[in-house]
Amino acid sequence: MPIDDCNTQWKFVLANSMIWPSLHWFHAMLGHLGSHCMHATLQTRYYHPHFCMHIECFVCDECQHTKTSGPSHRLLQDWNITGAPWEEVAVNLIGPWPVSTPHGIVEFFVLTCIDTTTNLVKIARIFKKSSDHIATCFEHTWLSWYY
């Protein structure tokens, strides 16, 4: 099994002419990352001897116009765990979701099951909205896996 270490993995070498177009493209596609995150992401698969310097010099006009002064994030609120894993599950039916296929539009419903302590999610497709069918899907999707 290959080791996914950014210092030992093969990387694509970026030519000087490709640095700026690559930085512009990756910056936009990765959601306008900051320089630290962009360097950490790109160094895993790409190499250039002056990669870090180019990333530090990179300036996005859109980011400069929308940048806020001061800290851009706050600490998350404490997560108060009130129960034990598998003690409580949040269940919901969502849909209909219309999906276009070559044979027409298909609508489907989904059962979601979320453990409120660990945030583990399980999803199952529902074929009919009857209590028997939903109970069977819940049993097969959730209960049979964990109990």
Tokens, residue 137: 């899907």
Q: What 8-state DSSP symbol labels residue 66?
A: H
57 and 23 share one domain: yes
- 110 vs 70, more confident: 110
100 and 51 share one domain: no
Domain coverage including residue 126: 89-146
103 and 61 share one domain: no
Q: Residue 56 corresponds to which amino acid? A: E
Q: Percentage of residues in the chain with pLDDT exceeding 90?
A: 22
Q: Is residue 58 situated within a structural domain? A: yes
**93 within 8 A of 111, measured Cβ to Cβ:** yes
Split into its structural domains, the chain has a count of 2
Is residue 136 over pLDDT 90? yes
Residue 7 half-sphere exposure toward CB, CA atoms < 13 A? 0
Span between the terminal Cα atoms of the chain, in Å: 33
Q: Which of 45-59, 74-88, 106-120 is predicted with the least confidence, judged by mean pLDDT?
A: 74-88
Is residue 138 over pLDDT 90? yes
pLDDT, tens digit (0-9, with 9 covering 90-100), for 9-42: 788 898 999 888 888 888 888 888 788 888 888 8
Q: Is residue 47 situated within a structural domain? A: yes
Is residue 70 over pLDDT 80? no
Is residue 2 over pLDDT 50? no
Give CA–CA dist 136/142, Å, rounded: 10
Predicted TM-score of the model (pTM) = 0.44
Encode burial over 106-143: b for 16+ CB neighbours within 10 A, e otherwise. Answer: eeebebebbbebeeeebebebeeeeeeebeebbeebbe
- At 114 the pLDDT is 92
